[in-house]
Amino acid sequence: MDNQLECGRQTLDLSQPQVMAVLNITEDSFSDGGRWLNPQRALERAIQMATEGAGIIDIGGESTRPGAIPVSIAEELERVIPVIEAISAAVEIPLSIDTSKAEVMTAAVAAGAGMINDVWGLRQAGALQAAAKAKVPVCIMHMQGQPENMQKQPHYENVLEEINAFFSQRISAVTAAGIETEKLLLDPGFGFGKTLEHNLSILANLDTFAHFKLPLLVGISRKSMLGEVTGADISDRMPAGIAAATIAVRQGAKIIRTHDVAATVQAMKLSYAVMAVDL
Ligand code: 8Y4
């Protein structure tokens, strides 16, 4: 079959749009309030996500929201490794590790993760080498600045051109480190060093990244751009998130990272059914 992404022992079918379910194992995550810190609760939620039709579960132990406090390697390992072990033994779908730290990438893949999702695009110490050794797919996300200060004064001459140039540069660096191009996914990083205007411009023009011929992943769910446009607060942004996901898949996005699994899966099924119409 074509368009199958091999994620370690699992496969992700990219012949149709897939939902990446967000599972935060953090104490300070304002979306989940730390409810998934306990491995048992995380496992229950993961089983529910898989049942709701998620194609992959993204497990993160380090909050990357603007202004978040960095987490130590030991703390991050303690949070995510037991959860990855438990979930990979219980669910069939691939797991992704949301981390920028080389040590966490290595341990997470050994524990059963089949993809690396790095908001730093493998720019932190040792990450290129760790990802090359892990031999699993890697999502390269664009971020201007760093989580501590990225929303201070985001500035671009041309946001689309600059993200394009970043992707080109990272593809070169990553392939030079021995990672196959076929293992890469690209993500413009909504909200990571971007104003509302930048985010809307990226969403309106996502198809400008199609020329790389790599799967596009996007994460818009619950983000402030949705609140800025609609006035809805964080717990009330799902309809706007669904609209954004639909706009993205219509332009070729293959993976939608979201907190709202069942609703997004349903919307993606409808979008794909319409996209498959050939007359
Ligand atoms: C409410 C809840 C409001 C969460 C904002 C947020 C992306 C990502 C994140 C993304 C990829 C987030 C780890 C930020 N966003 N990875 N990670 N793409 N690949 N904020 O857009 O969800 S964390």
Kind of pairing, strands 217-219 and 10-13?
unpaired
Mutate to test the pocket of ligand 1, among 32, 97, 119 (most ligand atoms within 8 A of CB): 119
- Structurally, the chain folds into a number of domains equal to 1
Give residue 161's identity as a one-letter amino acid code: E
Give residue 18's identity as a one-letter amino acid code: Q
User: How many other C-beta atoms lie within 10 A of the C-beta of residue 180?
Assistant: 12
Ligand 1, CB within 6 Å, residue ranges: 31, 60, 64-65, 98, 117, 119, 139, 141, 187, 189-190, 217, 219, 222-223, 234, 257
Mutate to test the pocket of ligand 1, among 222, 225, 237, 259 (most ligand atoms within 8 A of CB): 222
Based on the residue annotation, tell me whether 223 is a catalytic residue of this protein.
Answer: yes
Catalytic residue selected from 101, 170, 223, 237: 223
C-alpha dist (Å) from residue 171 to 8, 104, 128, 143: 21, 22, 11, 15
Kind of pairing, strands 115-118 and 95-98?
parallel
Per-residue pLDDT in tens (0 to 9) along the chain, 279 residues:
589 999 999 999 999 999 999 999 976 444 455 555 678 999 999 999 999 999 999 999 988 777 777 889 999 999 999 999 999 999 999 999 999 999 999 999 999 999 999 999 999 999 999 999 999 999 999 999 999 899 999 999 999 999 999 999 999 999 999 999 999 999 999 999 999 999 999 999 999 999 999 999 999 999 999 999 999 999 999 999 999 999 999 999 999 999 999 999 999 999 999 999 998
Q: pLDDT, tens digit, for every residue of 108-120?
A: 999 999 999 999 9
SS3 260: coil
**Residues spanned by the domain of 232:** 4-277
Question: Which residue has the least CA distance to atom 3 on ligand 1?
Answer: 223
| CATH classification of the domain holding 168 | 3.20.20.20
What is the C-alpha separation between 10 and 113, in angstroms, rounded?
9
Residue 187 φ then ψ, to 5°: -145, 125
Q: Note whether 184 and 171 are within 8 A (CB).
A: yes
Based on the residue annotation, tell me whether 133 is a catalytic residue of this protein.
Answer: no
Q: Note whether 275 and 30 are within 8 A (CB).
A: no
Mutate to test the pocket of ligand 1, among 57, 64, 105, 196 (most ligand atoms within 8 A of CB): 64
For ligand 1, the distance from its centroid to the CA atom of residue 223, given in whole angstroms, is 8
Buried b (16+ CB within 10 A) or exposed e, 106-145: bbbbebbbbbbbbbbbbebeebbbbbbebebbbbbbbbbb
Q: Which two tokens stand for residue 74?
A: 């030991």
Q: pLDDT, tens digit, for every residue of 51-71?
A: 999 999 999 998 877 777 788
What is the C-alpha separation between 114 and 249, in angstroms, rounded?
23
For ligand 1, the distance from its centroid to the CA atom of residue 277, given in whole angstroms, is 32
Which residue in this structure is represented by tokens 């996209």? Answer: 275
Q: Which residues are 21's β-sheet partners?
A: 57, 258
Kind of pairing, strands 10-13 and 4-7?
antiparallel
Question: Which residue has the least CA distance to atom 5 on ligand 1?
Answer: 223
SS3 6: strand
